[in-house]
């Protein structure tokens, strides 16, 4: 099958591309400045190296496409799956999902619809992927994506390693349903309102921005004193380059262990939600009329946590799809009007 050069224009949903001898790796933070993103054991960079929401977009008449990459990690996939998933979509439709065993080096999509079509291949949300080739029985031509751009920032609840497949994370589901160009900055365990992440968001083109904040900081990294100030600072950093872009502040979804039981610094999820709502009011009073607040319990409440989680925190694949429906209704209905 003829191959296509992995030009920059093929990639969507990333922040920066890293290139080596015969390979290209998408990052969800600027890898050329990774020294500016410190965290214990480089946890933030490890999450940014994974490819949640990252995809290749191209037009083709090909009936079969092969995506080649360096051997995948040999770690065990999440949620008891036998392999890492790669999805092929056209428009809002999930056409095919390919499961690749740990250590595998290609994902093949066969019997695709006839005719010219715009295709997106979504890379695994769980792992880093260093691509080495894209092949089809017809040329795979990069094509511009003129859809409105949506950037969303959050924790593992946005990263969604437990999703059934990469095009079925809740950000991907919402983006496909709404016809949006997605950049998903969900970093498992690493959403601590870092100023440098705020600067990264500010530098990205965006028509809509959602900030789903709180669950990681309830571990104690931020307190009643520092959390509201960090939310203010994050919004203000983004506003330096996006003064009028609609932004949604979304507080934590249900989290039974800390709803009312204080953490080591005396803070609760309930108090955190009230503080974010207060921040919203303060910023609106100063003229930020393109800022909305949504209580995270509208996205995933305590009853849903009981039904769709094993750890009282992370929804399973089915729960993630419910989270997508609720986020679409509670947040996007308001943000996009």
**Pick from 160, 231, 225: nearest CA to 192:** 231
Q: What are the pLDDT digits (tens) for 167-193?
A: 999 999 999 999 999 999 999 999 999
**How far is residue 42's CA from residue 50's CA, in Å, rounded to a whole number?**
13
> Hey, what domains does the chain have and what are their CATH numbers?
3-142 (2.60.120.260), 149-335 (3.40.50.1110)
Residue linked to tokens 């969800």? 28
**How far is residue 171's CA from residue 187's CA, in Å, rounded to a whole number?**
13
Helix (H) or strand (E) holding 265, with range, is none
Give residue 267's pLDDT: 98
Strands 106-109 and 55-60: unpaired
Give residue 181's pLDDT: 98
Give percent helix, percent strand, percent coil of the chain, each to the nearest 5: 35, 25, 40
Helix (H) or strand (E) holding 12, with range, is strand 11-12
Give residue 1's pLDDT: 65
Note the Cα 116 to chain centre separation in Å.
29
Q: Is 214 left (phi over 0), alpha (psi -120 to 50) or beta?
A: left
Residues of the chain predicted below pLDDT 50? none
The DSSP secondary structure of 280-335, one letter per residue, reads HHHHHHTT-TTEEEE-GGGTS-HHHHHHHBSSSS-B-HHHHHHHHHHHIIIIIHHH
Give residue 193's pLDDT: 98
Which ranges in the chain belong to alpha helices (H)?
A: 43-48, 156-159, 170-178, 195-203, 227-239, 269-285, 302-308, 317-327, 333-335
Query: For residue 335, what are its two tokens?
Result: 């943000």
**How far is residue 65's CA from residue 175's CA, in Å, rounded to a whole number?**
23
Residue linked to tokens 């499961």? 99
Distances (CA, A) of 308 to 34, 85, 254, 317: 35, 21, 12, 8
Query: For residue 6, what are its two tokens?
Result: 């992995």
Handedness of CA 269, 271, 277, 279 (dihedral sign): negative
Cβ atoms of residues 201 and 48 within 8 Å: no
């Amino acid at each position: 099958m003829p191959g296509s050069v992995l030009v920059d224009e093929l990639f969507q949903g990333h922040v920066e591309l890293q290139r080596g001898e015969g390979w290209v790796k998408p990052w969800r933070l600027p890898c050329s400045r990774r020294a500016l993103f410190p965290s214990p054991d480089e946890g933030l960079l490890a999450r940014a190296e994974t490819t949640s929401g990252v995809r290749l977009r191209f037009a083709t008449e090909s009936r079969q496409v092969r995506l080649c990459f360096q051997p995948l990690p040999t770690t065990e996939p999440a949620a008891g799956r036998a392999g890492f998933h790669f999805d092929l979509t056209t428009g809002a439709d999930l056409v095919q999902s390919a499961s690749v065993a740990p250590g595998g080096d290609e994902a093949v999509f066969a019997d695709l619809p006839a005719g010219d079509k715009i295709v997106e291949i979504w890379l695994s949300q769980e792992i880093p992927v260093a691509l080495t080739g894209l092949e089809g029985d017809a040329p795979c031509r990069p094509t511009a994506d003129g859809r409105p751009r949506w950037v969303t920032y959050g924790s593992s609840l946005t990263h969604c390693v437990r999703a059934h497949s990469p095009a079925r994370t809740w950000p991907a589901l919402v983006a496909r349903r709404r016809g949006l160009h997605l950049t998903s900055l969900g970093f498992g365990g690493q959403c601590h309102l870092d100023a440098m992440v705020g600067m990264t968001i500010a530098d990205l083109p965006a028509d809509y921005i959602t900030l789903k904040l709180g669950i990681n900081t309830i571990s104690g990294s931020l307190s009643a004193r520092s959390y509201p100030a960090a939310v203010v600072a994050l919004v203000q950093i983004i506003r330096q380059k996006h003064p009028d872009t609609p932004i949604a502040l979304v507080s934590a979804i249900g989290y039974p262990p800390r709803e009312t039981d204080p953490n080591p610094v005396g803070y609760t999820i309930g108090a955190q939600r009230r503080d974010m709502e207060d921040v919203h009011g303060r910023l609106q009073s100063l003229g930020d009329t393109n800022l909305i607040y949504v209580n995270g319990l509208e996205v995933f409440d305590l009853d849903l946590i009981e039904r769709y989680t094993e750890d009282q925190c992370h929804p399973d694949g089915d729960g993630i799809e419910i989270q997508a429906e609720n986020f679409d209704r509670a947040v996007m209905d308001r943000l996009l009007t």
